[in-house]
A = this chain, B = another copy of it.
Amino acid sequence: MLIRVLGSAAGGGFPQWNCRCPVCTLAWNNDPRVSPRTQSSLAISADGHHWLLLNASPDLRQQISAHSILHPVSGRRGSPIYGIWLTNGDIDHVAGLLSLREQQSFTIFATRGILDELAANAIFSALAGGAVTRRAISHNAEIAAGYGLDVTSFAVPGKVPLYREGARVSTDEISEMTSGLNLRHGGRTALYIPGCARVTPDIKARIAGADVVLFDGTTFVDDEMLQLGLSNKTAARMGHLAMSGPAGSMAALADVVGPRKIFIHINNTNPALIEGSPERRAVEAAGWEIAFDGMEIDL
């Protein structure tokens, strides 16, 4: 199984268009300790020729352009991309669908709840029904996604998309609205969990049984945005788990030592983006890697 990281940043990308936090400022100044990152998405292939994308980030057109494995190879129209699997309905995971509106045939895999969000926004009808198949996925049922790749979706604690938030928001909801994916081929297993509010026993057991996990690395500390004066939201309020702290992902998964552990969906404010920073060193000392755009994993 081949995994290519198309984008490793959280929503907004890195640097974020309007941000001059300490980490973004390094990026605007072209500091060599940081690398720009587009928004979270993976390409997965079992055969090296046909690719399933996990999430469609707003940067998708730029990501396709940057990766020749995704360029069309034959015929007058075509694409090695045969499907897009959506793990939630957030803008950073669905807006890229609008860049695929060219009568090209592919399948959107998502839970009914996420497909309903797309259907409620007429702009997505540009993905013509005659060309694009919407396939409603139930959690915990393995699907032959195509070309040798078997995928199981499972529920992850999270919240509804920002544009669907009401006056009260449940940020630890286990529902159809936030998924993790188990990807299987040739006896190897990868897990993709780009948004996760809490490590449940179920999620911990799934990670322990995988060869590699790409996990929510949005913030380093839970109140990162508040400390910087950028937002009144903690990571938990955004439906994400911080890397550090007694309730963070590094602590929750400290005794899971089998799989390769990689943080993805990293927010622009996260100092672990800075090579050599104390936070990066703490992440590495805990046995984790920081994903970067173009990272290749060959399982």
Where the two chains meet, the residues of A that have a C-beta atom closer than 8 Å to any C-beta of B are 11-13, 15-21, 28, 36, 38, 58-59, 61-62, 64-65, 70-72, 74-79, 91, 94-95, 98-104, 120-126, 162-164, 228-231
Contact = CB atoms under 8 A, between A and B. Distances in A.
Q: Which 6 A-B residue pairings sit nearest by Cβ, starting from the closest?
A: A18-B104, A121-B121, A18-B79, A126-B163, A95-B98, A62-B62
B123 A12 contact: no
A122 B121 contact: yes
**A contact face: mostly helix, strand, loop, or mixed:** loop
12 contacts: A12-B102, A15-B65, A17-B100, A18-B78, A20-B77, A20-B78, A58-B61, A58-B95, A77-B230, A95-B123, A101-B162, A121-B122
A64 B36 CA distance: 13
Most chain B CB within a 10 A radius of its CB, from A18, A20, A126: A18
Most buried by B among A36, A62, A103: A62
A125 B13 contact: no
Contact of A230 (B20, B76, B228): B76
A28 B121 contact: no
Nearest to A17: B64
Number of copies: 2
A178 to B, nearest CB: 17
Given A61-B58, A230-B76, A17 B102 contact: yes
A102 B78 CA distance: 35
A71 B64 CA distance: 24
A91 B13 CA distance: 21
A95 B78 CA distance: 23
Contacts of A65: 15, 17, 36
A126 B62 CA distance: 22
A162 to B, nearest CB: 5
A124 to B, nearest CB: 8
Nearest to A125: B163
B17 A99 contact: yes
Contacts of A12: 101-102
A38 B70 CA distance: 18
A19 B77 contact: yes
Contacts of A20: 72, 74-78
A71 to B, nearest CB: 6
